[in-house]
Amino acid sequence: MSVSVSASAAAAGTSLDALLGWASDELAGAGIGSARSDAALLIGHVLGLGRGEVEAKAVIAAPVAASQTAEILRLVDRRARREPLQHILGVAPFRGLALQVGPGVFVPRPETETVAQYAIDALRARPSAEPLAVDLGSGSGALALALATEVPHARVIAVEKTPETVPWTRRNVERFGDGRVRVVVADLADALPELVAAVDVVVSNPPYVPERALPREPEVRLFDPPEALYSGTDGLDAMRALAATALRLLIPGGTLVVEHGEEQGAAVRGILTAAGLRAAATHPDLLGRDRTTTATR
């Protein structure tokens, strides 16, 4: 049983085991399934420790100073209100990158890492000495930067239009892009008119939630930007625009890789095929849910 952390205890400082137990219970009570992990990460954020180090120091009931205890209580309260953990920590992990995130940008998800892998494989397979990839609706820059860091001989363009999001795109590209990623502020429907039939790989995680559907998780519903979530009555308006743009940008034999909802695979394949793309195929994520569709120009 965890030890309660009162205001007076916070003022005097307390032990790490008490804090970790209390924080875990608070977050579990708020309906957070990863309560202990989140608690350890929040505590570690304040103390400058990794998650494993927090657990190890909790075993020996290491003391925590009053100022640090007060800050931990403040962060746990924010998380209990279902503010995304990544917003509180200021970073989101994605394929080995620690991307800066916060209000105004979609937090990259683990399932999108499989989308990145299909795009990386397609980009590596191109015979060009310097293949070109375009990430449409780049958001945090997660997909663009995964391609740039894992296919270092490639050039990448990150396209993003939302004013609140573009600063996050630029910030992450400046940190990880190594001069090979260019940010372009444009809508995915009419982006890059100068690159007709010039792009080897187009990748995108477009908005695909139907307008009247409400995501179950408060972290998504309340904190992710609506522009990154909703797209028409069936959720596929952006996908239709994306298909037309990909057809325009891709070289013959080039590849489109898109993320979508687990029940949208057949509809997405139909959209891509109707746009003139070939060999549309849907692939599962690591949990076996349809998540990625690829097609060829």
Read off the pLDDT of residues 68-92 as tens digits, 9 standing for 90 and up.
999 999 999 999 999 999 999 999 9
Q: What is the pLDDT of residues 111-159, one digit of tens each?
A: 999 999 999 999 999 999 999 999 999 999 999 999 999 999 999 999 9
Supply the pLDDT for residue 6. Answer: 52
Domain boundary among 22, 50, 81: 81
- Statement to judge: residues 118 and 150 lie in one domain: yes
**Chain CA centroid to CA 108, Å:** 0
Say if 255 falls within a structural domain. yes
In a domain, 137, yes or no: yes
0.95 cut: is pTM over it?
Answer: no
Report the number of distinct structural domains present in the chain.
2
130 and 238 in a single domain? The answer is: yes
Q: What is the DSSP string of 145-179?
A: HHHHHHSTT-EEEEEE--TTTHHHHHHHHHHH-TT
Classify the phi-psi angles of 62: left when phi > 0, otherwise alpha if psi is within -120 to 50, otherwise beta. Answer: beta
Same domain, yes or no: 61 and 204: no
* Residues 139, 267 within the same domain: yes
Q: Are residues 23 and 142 in the same domain?
A: no
Specify the DSSP class assigned to residue 117. H
**Nearest partner of 249 among 200, 181, 178, judged by Cα:** 200
Q: Which one of 81, 110, 134 terminates a domain?
A: 81
Same domain as 230, residue 138: yes
Query: Are residues 198 and 268 located together in one domain of the fold?
Result: yes
Are 55 and 100 part of one and the same domain? Answer: no
Is 140 a member of any domain? Answer: yes
Domain housing 33: 7-81
Q: Is residue 205 part of a domain?
A: yes
End-of-domain residue from the set 81, 115, 147: 81
pLDDT number for residue 54? 96
Own/partner long-range contacts of 217-226 (Cβ < 8 Å, ≥24 apart): 217/82, 218/82, 219/82, 219/83, 219/84, 219/107, 222/82, 223/82, 223/83, 223/84, 223/87, 223/103, 223/107, 224/106, 224/107, 225/104, 225/105, 225/106, 225/162, 225/164, 225/165
- Which parts of the chain register pLDDT below 70? 1-13
Q: Is residue 192 part of a domain?
A: yes
Together in a domain, 101 and 236: yes
